[in-house]
Structure 1
Amino acid sequence: MSEAASTPKPSALARPVVVLRGVGPDRRAQLARLGLNTVGDLLFHRPRRYEDRRHFRRIGEVQLGELAATRGHIVALGLKRYAKGQKSVFEFILEDGTGRLHCRWWNLPYMQQYFAQGDEVLVYGKVNSLRPRTIDHPETEVVVANEDNSIHLSRIVPIYPLTEGLSQRWLRSLIFRAFQEYGTAITEPWPKLSIPDLPPRRKAVEMLHYPAELVDLELSRCRLALDELIDLQLAIQRRRKRLAANARGWPCGGDNRLIKPFLAQLGFSLTTAQTKVLREIRKDMSGGQPMRRLLQGDVGSGKTVVAACCTLMALESGFNVVLMAPTEILAEQHFQNFARWFGRLGIEVGLRTGSYRTSNAEQRTSSIEPRTSNVEPPARSPSPLASRLSPKADRQSPIANRQSPALTIGTHALIEDSFGQENLGLVIIDEQHKFGVAQREKLVRKGRYPHLLVMTATPIPRTLGLTLYGDLDISVIDELPPGRSPVKTFVRSAERLPKVWEFIRDKLTEGRQAFVVYSRVEEGGTGGLKAVTKERDAVQKALASYRVGLLHGRLPSEEKEKTMAAFRNGAIHVLLATSLVEVGVDVPNATIMLVENAEQFGLAQLHQLRGRIGRGSHESYCILVAAPNSPEAEERLKVLEETGDGFRIAEADLKLRGPGDLLGQEQSGMPPLAFADLKEDLALIERARSLAASIITVEPGNRHSTADERR
């Protein structure tokens, strides 16, 4: 819709595809499988590639290994069955006067129904033999006699994603009719916005389907991508604007009466980066608006200590705090750390997971006034572990009905309706990328506009920082505490595993411990992948004199906790695990990590896993073993051999796998982008951010998305 409009009007682009000639119920169902339900869906259906049919190669000129477009007439065709009729090959021979081309389809006998002797056929594919000249499974299109071929031949032709039952020629003709009849309905979403270097929106759609020159393709994509990104930035910036206009932040800057003794008991000084970040956070939490901040730092950079200081700021100010972690193991570790730190300060810490609940977490009704006195609270001798109760237990928690503010740590159990927390001043979410946007918002709504700090050890590339996290201010801990030596990382082929196990035995003899990580819990699905439950006996046999433990997400919570405790205290020497240990495991004596089938993990995830070691004074080693015959995977993994810089690794992962794999599909909370590329379009993202700000400034009352009109 336009900027001037105050109410969105139905658009012709929203009409169903059946308004177009030739689309009945069957065709409608076929189009729906491609997500093409409206006229707008058709017009914005992005081709997956283009063929330059202005210059076909003659068959006799096509070379071995070349991707080429050619044409000719069918002079012979037939279907041959073999293996007692279970397998087949359909083949036709194309001739153009300069040579012959064999086109074959293996085990697709139905292909014979699409071709006949004498047909003129356009062929696109890779030549895999010259004796005879052959293309297997080419893309084809039959030239129809007495039909207008102006949109199919002698031009740059779009090749669209298809589904069974649809042909390129039919879909191309339908999109042409849609543009002819409804193209005028494509209007500028922001008429007052000047984008002089890119084509108007309607022209961009025309160039998408009917480019005059190859250069038109990128111009069209950039304009349509920019529109998508402006829409995304408008949603982000309006959300921030609504928060600023409607929310009043609690004063949670604290007075240092708890932070000072806490820092004194740590036995080490904060890094310059930690101090800088804490100043940024204190400024936010002291202000008049709720903080919305993302804290990112590489594994081992000291985010937990920063989170503890932020918690103390809120507690000093008389407000409760909740901290949510993605797994029970991480929540339990946070609970132990915070209980140890805060118990000496007389602060109560509770735990709420699927296995443990504090009674005051289920209902806290006492009204707590913000503390204004500078007097340190009276010393107590709490038993922090007493806060952890079985859900079956009905005795009252020691922290129930206390008037002093408290910290509650938990997992997804914190967002259950049964959990309520009054006087909530700060919400901390650890490993933010493990949670969905809706989960984050549900926890924040437990309070009345509490401050929000989300943390991640997965470094966020700038393109994602401006989009997925565009509604958050970003702080970065960009240095590691002194004394942490880099983990030595090696990529090895599966053939070298015996040597790897020999190396692990040597390190165990020196008194060290080891992680062995697998991508699967049980066998099944893709062949050749090792599973943690199936490998335990083999590993125990190979390391006969050492105790081997097992940890994965399907084990009962009590068993997982018991196993982790045994590994921490050295009773277990080798821990076989899944990626469950990616976060929340801190065992300084564990100095070796072996990851089998490492090609199944993303680079950023492997970097996280690697962060579980190198936490003590001994040299640490991470060994990544790829599946047999996977040289490409080994090459990708070498990024981890070359650098320990989490930001470089995250950028490489983003380029290789995309944001969905880097952060998880659920995490993003944003619609899929048809034209914008979060891996490459940093300049467009920054431009969209600036243009969206100018739209909001000029038309502050415009709260409607333009997405419906476009599609």
Structure 2
Amino acid sequence: MNHSSVAPESVPARQIKGVSAPKEQELHAFGIYTALDLMNYFPFRYEDYRLRSLAEAKDGEKITIQGILRGLPMVARFGKGKTRLTAKAEADGQLITAVWFNRMFIKDQLQLGREITLTGKWDARRMQITVTDSEFPDKGTAKTGTLQPVYSVGGTITQAWMRKTIRQALEQYGPLLEENLPERLLRKYRLMPRSEAVYHIHHPEDPKDGQGARRRLVYEELFLFQLKLQAYRMLNRRKADGIVHRVDPEVIRQFAASLPFELTDAQKKVVNEILADMRQPFAMNRLLQGDVGAGKTVVAAIALLAAVKAGHQGALMVPTEILAEQHMRSLTRLYEGTGLQTALLTGSVSDKKRRDLLAGLQMGLVDVLIGTHALIQDDVAFRSLGLVVTDEQHRFGVNQRSVLRRKGPSPDVLTMTATPIPRTLAITAFGDMDVSTIKERPKGRIPIQTYWVKHGMMDRVYGFIRREIDAGRQAYVICPLIEESEKLDVQNAIDQFVQLQQAFPDLKVGLLHGRMTASEKDEVMAAFAAADVQVLVATTVVEVGVDVPNATLMIVMDAERFGLSQLHQLRGRVGRGAHASYCVLVADPKTETGKERMAVMQETDDGFEVARRDLELRGPGDFFGTKQSGMPDFKLADMAADFAVLEAAREDAAELAAEDGFWTAEAYAPLRAILAKDPIFQGSQLD
């Protein structure tokens, strides 16, 4: 076969020399199907086989030295069939001891006067090297003097085999790797050409080569990711098929003046950003983030009012029924006297009521529809949907959100979240959105006091519960959700429930866990909201945003099992009324990080600060929890460490996508071809 004309992405892995059919099957487990996949299977670290002198070797570090064997090998046996082989060698004019464990096969090769290269852990006190690798220069050394790549391997695939096979792929197809970054960006950052970078990431001649290769490939990865988001955003804007909401500012001013409280400066700023977007001819795609209780609901209410006053309808989608009912109550209260018609659609609305509601919606008699994912069912049709607001967006998949968008002729979309996201993650995970942030808290909010106690202090915690209940308040007790074992987890909550019933026989204790049906959960939450239940034991995160102003005490058991942002969310369930509120974290963290996290919770109740520290301590992958991270799985880039590159890549991508030439010029054809393969562009005109 003539390789010179074949693109590496269309060459099956088995066509690489040394890849048998069984090995090809095993490669599939690593996501490797083609020659290109092999070349893009990057090492996660390197073994350093560069020669060192004993004078510069530090105690306990791994070194590679060259020496001459000066003593015959000695064998010691210990344990079940285990062996220890030792031999004296001269290196840098000093006599040292080389030790091999369970390597009897090498004994006969250890001949007096023979040159040998030794790699292993150096013990300076004993003048001894515990050998992990040895080579004989007279046989032609393979590793000495190099940095060897280390890959994730498993099954029958070994490091040696993977190194050899990737090297083979590079030899056969490396020169055919096409450049995908435009010349201007390569020049701007002095980046290596792509084929060179891919070669050097696998075989760095020295650390500088490896760093240059990594720098190029990290930038490429972040740039292509950002280009996808920015191009998607530009296509939306270029279509300019959004709804231009023409709203009289006086209507908004009067509504704001009629509220029983004054908007904070942060709320006013965010409202202006949203209304400015709604007046544009392209569909708005904005993320509104604010700390727990920062007053996002009223901002959403103003945006929905603007859509209705401009002659359209609004929809508010939330993850749970109880949250939908809560929003229904607060919006109905806010819209008193405006003539706006609100309606609630959840799974438990009766058939007849549902039919009437849907007919009214289609005729335009319903202005704002509030509901759960029942809103995206096929038979839900709006007369003219102008604005979609989704709350706690990370609980809905992208698909669910896009189905709701398709219920109108390109409606504006406002996404709300109470998980404050550090800017690092916001511009990555939501690069296709504009981000508005409410940092200020509404006036009169009493800060929540947070305490960290050990498990041995439960008597005092029970005393605290008793004091709050006697004062007429309510308490939550949260047990961790351990995903490995739902059963164990339920047991955990049931044990806690039983203990609390025994400790407080005169109180009504409620139980909420993941094995209950939605209606059972709603029933328990409704009883707690109505104060018929004084203490609520729950495993799942007590639904985000549930408002029980009379609950003033949040107790989190085994708090070290939760992420900081999750603890902050839980803490935000209390402190929603006029009374002082408390959060008690019960934890015996075993690690320094665990202790540090408890300390962070006591030091600050600012969600953005908590989120920043959470990102530092856990890294971006875990930030949202693994279930829904929506975060891209980068091969080399690390969003926290490579944040400066991420910001540069985002600016470059936004600048490029905004240029007309990008969509037509030949120079950018490779980039457009990459975009065209992505599902979000299927069916879009890329040029």
TM-score, length of structure 2 as denominator length: 0.84
1:333 matched residue in structure 2: 326
1:173 matched residue in structure 2: 164
Contact 1:514/1:593 (8 A) holds in 2: yes
Does 2:62 correspond to 1:68? Answer: yes
Aligned amino acid, residue 238 of structure 1: A
Cα deviation code 1:572-624 (max 9, x no counterpart): 11111134324121122211111112222211111111111112232221122
Contact 1:315/1:405 (8 A) holds in 2: no
Does 2:400 correspond to 1:406? Answer: no
SS in 2 for 1:515: strand
Structure that is richer in helix per residue: 2
**CA 1:240–1:635 in structure 2 vs 1: closer, same or farther (change >3 Å)?**
same
1:396 matched residue in structure 2: 356
SS in 1 for 2:573: coil
Contact 1:579/1:609 (8 A) holds in 2: no
Aligned amino acid, residue 337 of structure 1: S
Does 2:224 correspond to 1:225? Answer: no
Aligned amino acid, residue 496 of structure 1: M
**CA 1:123–1:432 in structure 2 vs 1: closer, same or farther (change >3 Å)?**
farther
Contact 1:519/1:530 (8 A) holds in 2: no
With 697-706 and 634-643 compared, the bigger mean Cα shift is at 697-706
Does 2:446 correspond to 1:485? Answer: yes
Aligned residue among 37, 40, 49 for 1:41? 37
SS in 2 for 1:429: strand
2:683 matched residue in structure 1: none
Aligned residue among 508, 519, 534 for 2:480? 519
Aligned residue among 236, 254, 271 for 1:243? 236
Aligned residue among 385, 395, 400 for 1:434? 395
Partners of 1:492 and 1:34 in 2: CA distance: 44
Partners of 2:402 and 2:236 in 1: CA distance: 13
Structure 1 residues 95-494: aligned runs within 5 Å: 95=87, 97=89, 98-99=96-97, 101=99, 103=101, 149-150=141-142, 152-196=143-187, 197-255=190-248, 259=252, 262-342=255-335, 344-353=337-346, 355-356=347-348, 389-391=349-351, 396-397=356-357, 400=360, 403-494=364-455
Aligned amino acid, residue 591 of structure 1: T
Aligned residue among 599, 615, 618 for 2:579? 618
**CA 1:56–1:522 in structure 2 vs 1: closer, same or farther (change >3 Å)?**
closer
2:672 matched residue in structure 1: 704
Contact 1:256/1:316 (8 A) holds in 2: no
**CA 1:287–1:191 in structure 2 vs 1: closer, same or farther (change >3 Å)?**
closer
With 515-524 and 115-124 compared, the bigger mean Cα shift is at 115-124
Aligned residue among 1, 23, 30 for 2:26? 30
SS in 2 for 1:700: helix
**CA 1:118–1:340 in structure 2 vs 1: closer, same or farther (change >3 Å)?**
farther
**CA 1:394–1:656 in structure 2 vs 1: closer, same or farther (change >3 Å)?**
closer
Does 2:8 correspond to 1:12? Answer: yes
1:85 matched residue in structure 2: none
**CA 1:194–1:571 in structure 2 vs 1: closer, same or farther (change >3 Å)?**
closer
Contact 1:532/1:576 (8 A) holds in 2: yes
2:93 matched residue in structure 1: none
Partners of 1:325 and 1:91 in 2: CA distance: 65
Partners of 2:587 and 2:655 in 1: CA distance: 50
**CA 1:395–1:250 in structure 2 vs 1: closer, same or farther (change >3 Å)?**
closer
Partners of 1:78 and 1:660 in 2: CA distance: 47
**CA 1:194–1:522 in structure 2 vs 1: closer, same or farther (change >3 Å)?**
closer
2:50 matched residue in structure 1: 54
Aligned amino acid, residue 288 of structure 2: L
**CA 1:446–1:667 in structure 2 vs 1: closer, same or farther (change >3 Å)?**
farther
Aligned amino acid, residue 68 of structure 1: K
1:534 matched residue in structure 2: 495
Q: CA deviation at 1:664?
A: 4.8
**CA 1:145–1:90 in structure 2 vs 1: closer, same or farther (change >3 Å)?**
farther
Partners of 2:595 and 2:616 in 1: CA distance: 17
Partners of 1:667 and 1:250 in 2: CA distance: 31
Cα deviation code 1:197-251 (max 9, x no counterpart): 3322222223212223324333322210110111112111211121112242223
Partners of 1:460 and 1:584 in 2: CA distance: 17
**CA 1:494–1:629 in structure 2 vs 1: closer, same or farther (change >3 Å)?**
farther
Aligned residue among 602, 608, 616 for 2:569? 608
**CA 1:288–1:527 in structure 2 vs 1: closer, same or farther (change >3 Å)?**
closer
Partners of 1:461 and 1:154 in 2: CA distance: 43
Aligned amino acid, residue 242 of structure 2: G
* Identity value in percent: 39
Partners of 1:580 and 1:52 in 2: CA distance: 47
Aligned residue among 535, 539, 544 for 1:574? 535
Q: CA deviation at 1:497?
A: 2.7
Aligned amino acid, residue 277 of structure 2: D
Cα deviation code 1:293-321 (max 9, x no counterpart): 11111111100010011111111122111
**CA 1:95–1:413 in structure 2 vs 1: closer, same or farther (change >3 Å)?**
farther
With 156-165 and 253-262 compared, the bigger mean Cα shift is at 253-262
Cα deviation code 1:443-466 (max 9, x no counterpart): 111111001000111122222222
1:382 matched residue in structure 2: none
Q: Which has the higher contact order (CA 8 A, sep 6+)?
A: 1
2:685 matched residue in structure 1: none
Contact 2:553/2:574 (8 A) holds in 1: yes
Contact 2:122/2:128 (8 A) holds in 1: no
Partners of 1:149 and 1:568 in 2: CA distance: 74
SS in 2 for 1:591: strand
Cα deviation code 1:29-83 (max 9, x no counterpart): 222222222222222222122122114698xx885xx4535689996587956xx
Contact 1:258/1:312 (8 A) holds in 2: no
Partners of 1:597 and 1:239 in 2: CA distance: 43
SS in 2 for 1:300: coil
Partners of 1:132 and 1:542 in 2: CA distance: 64
Q: CA deviation at 1:101?
A: 4.2
**Which structure 2 residue ranges, 5 or more long, are not aligned?**
90-95, 111-116, 678-687
